[in-house]
Amino acid sequence: MDFNILSDCPDFVSDIIPNRVLKGNKPPFSRRVIDEAREIGLYPYFIPIAGEQGHRVMIEGRDTVMLGSNNYLGMTEHPEVKAAAIKAIEKFGVGCTGSRYLNGTLEIHIEMEEKLADFMGTESALMFSTGYQTNVGTIWSLAGKKDIVLSDQYNHASIVDGCRMARPEVIVYDHNDIGSFKDCVLNLPEDKGVLEVTDGLFSMEGDLAKLPEIQSICKKDNISIMVDDAHSIGVLGPHGNGTAAHFGVDVDITMGTFSKSFASMGGFISGNEDILTDIKHSSRTLMFSAAPPPANVATAMRSMELIRDEPEHRNNLWKNARYLINWLNKLGFDTGHSESPIIPVIIGEDVHTVAWWRQLLDRGVYTNPVVYPATPRDRNLIRNSVMATHTKEDLDQVLSVYEEVLDILPFDDD
């Protein structure tokens, strides 16, 4: 790119980010804005990847370090995981042609749910076709108009949308602020059911929910707890079984996905068998969606088994995460409150953030630019996701590129 990305960048750069309220079901940006952003190389979405998505990928004809994937343990590249998917297709075919509720339940679905319950240490587990559907359908089944949902300010969009669909009263407390959470609990009416919902590992800044404090408060007031562990499963816990296991606390329902550490597509909840039976017979996203294809289930199942039986994958992940965050901090970057392999680099202003993304990509490092409303307006950031399969050479290349871009796009002193 041969122009000054900060001084020559048109005003529309921030407009390519969907940060305005939709009006009349029209998108908050025009086709002209998208086309102009693409023309100057500042459109950060739908970037095509050529070939397999591993720790290095081909983007725009360049060998690139993949630092923007949720493939935390690198299971998409594992030969045993690939073989399991092929075997499942040979036995069950490529699709289910119906919902779990009717003709879509295969033997492999039941096997996976039994193994998931054992992996999570719970009575039961229930699969959905996507993680998004898991949260929406579960919340819809658990909470109604006469109930209250307590929700962390930074909770995932699927939790927000589940609440919109179920239409309980929603009380949002300040992100990871136990004082704010206590104030909400103190003011709860006594005649309503209450559900606390929180991400376990927050997907943008990599910090963990304060589950021990939350669980202690909820236990006193008989408040049920649901934890979205989409980014925690495979990463946290004694054998990758999530945030509650990591902290050694009990929660009522844990939600997880297959699309991160399990290298597949789908979602699940685990918990009390009676509660899950009720959800199984009331969740609209389960009852009215096609069942997860057998290859997806087999992929997730073999990944789960490898995570349980081979702790070296998780050990490598954490070793790589510590290495990267330590050196980013030594170079003077603000990595926020990360406690995980999700490592943000706080940039601040949205145009500057997109500029950083582009400069990193041009030098062979793929990251994710995260801007409002996915993060507060003053905390736009570059999201880095470390993988177990990254080599030291990969990470050293990343650090070298970050240092190089810092000379081109320095931060304001204030």
Secondary structure element (H or E) that encloses residue 368, with its range: strand 368-370
Q: Is residue 140 part of a domain?
A: yes
Q: Kindly state whether residues 122 and 219 are assigned to the same domain.
A: yes
Does residue 241 sit within a domain? Answer: yes
Looking at residue 184, its pLDDT comes to 96
Closest CA to 135 of 70, 232, 214, 226: 226
The answer to whether residues 125 and 230 belong to one domain is yes
- Look at residues 397, 395, 405 and name the one whose alpha carbon lies nearest to residue 353: 405
CA 104, chain centre distance (Å): 27
- Smallest CA-to-CA distance from 158 within 104, 263, 230 is with 230
CATH of the domain at 366: 3.90.1150.10
Q: Which two tokens stand for residue 276?
A: 């899950």
Is 182 found in the same domain as 44? no
Kindly state whether residues 140 and 257 are assigned to the same domain: yes
CA dihedral 326, 329, 335, 337 (to 10 degrees): 70
Strand stretches in 333-403, DSSP E: 342-348, 365-366, 368-370, 380-385
In this structure, the number of other CB atoms found within 10 A of the CB of residue 241 comes to 26
68, 87: one domain? no
Asked if residue 400 and residue 318 are part of one domain, the reply reads yes
Interhelix angle for 392-408 vs 312-330, to 10°? 20
Regions of the chain where pLDDT drops below 50: 1-23, 414
The answer to whether residues 127 and 274 belong to one domain is: yes
pLDDT of amino acid 24: 54
CATH number of the domain at 238, please.
Answer: 3.40.640.10
Q: Is residue 3 part of a domain?
A: no
C-beta separation of 59 from 33 below 8 A: no
99 token code pair: 């919902």
317 shares a domain with 185: no
| Widest Cα–Cα separation across the chain | 64
- Where is the domain boundary, 279, 309, 339? 309
Q: Does an H or E element contain 355, and which? A: helix 350-362
What is the distance between the alpha carbons of residues 89 and 110, in angstroms, rounded to a whole number?
A: 17
Distances (CA, A) of 70 to 201, 231, 259, 342, 373: 13, 8, 8, 9, 20
Could you tell me if residue 5 is inside a domain? no
Least Cα distance to 375 among 407, 353, 406 occurs for: 353
Q: What is the pTM of this model?
A: 0.90
| Residue 336, in any domain of the structure | yes
E-strand ranges in 175-310 read: 194-199, 224-228, 253-257, 267-271
State both tokens at 344: 């943000």
Task: Show which of 282, 309, 336 is a domain's final residue.
Answer: 309
176 three-state secondary structure: coil
Please report whether residue 2 resides in a domain: no
Domain end among 290, 309, 328: 309
Residues 45, 169, single domain; the answer is no
Range of the domain at 371: 11-72+312-408
- Does residue 190 sit in the same domain as residue 148? yes
List all residues 6 or more positions away from 278 whose beta carbon is below 8 Å from its beta carbon.
141
Evaluate whether residue 6 is within a structural domain. no
Residues 53 and 260: beta-carbon distance below 8 Å: no
Inside any domain, residue 335: yes
Q: How many domains does one find in the chain?
A: 2
Judge if 157 and 196 occupy the same domain: yes
Looking at residue 221, its pLDDT comes to: 92
**Contact residues for 112 (Cβ-Cβ < 8 A; gap 6+):** 127, 297, 300, 301
Using only C-alpha atoms, the chain has a radius of gyration, in whole angstroms, of: 22
Q: Are residues 387 and 302 in the same domain?
A: no
Q: How far is CA 149 from the centre of its chain?
A: 21
d(CA 157, CA 59): 28
